[in-house]
Amino acid sequence: MPHSPEEKRRVLARVRRIRGQAEALERALEAGADCAPVLQQIAAIRGAVNGLMSEVMEAHIRETFGHAAGSDEQRQARVAEMTALVRSYLK
């Protein structure tokens, strides 16, 4: 998950960018960079992580609700799973 090749490609690109940002930050710290640019890099990583979480959540909504449920029971189970995810991660 996410299942569509296009979504998977997009999510993986985001994760690799975050890994690259962490590597750049590691080099900056080893080189003794100043505090202000270091904080700026960390804030950029934080923004990228939030964007990734949103992207994965959106993909999950599309997969979960993008086709009709087979039964009312299945529909309610999907809703319960999604509200639990929102409760856990909308912070």
CA distance 16 to 68: 34
Kindly tell me which residue out of 4, 73, 76, 77 binds a copy of itself, with binding defined by CB under 8 A: 76
Nearer to a copy of itself, 6 or 88 (CB): 88
C-alpha dist (Å) from residue 91 to 4, 44, 53 = 27, 18, 11
Nearest-angstrom CA–CA distance, 58 and 82 = 11
Q: What's the min distance (Å) between Cβ of 58 and a copy of itself?
A: 4
Phi, psi of 86 (to 5 degrees): -60, -45
Q: Which residues of the shown chain bind a copy of itself in the complex (CB under 8 A)? A: 1-3, 8, 11-12, 15-16, 18-19, 22-23, 25-26, 29-30, 32-36, 38-39, 42-43, 45-46, 49-50, 52-54, 56-63, 65-69, 72, 75-76, 78-79, 81-83, 85-91
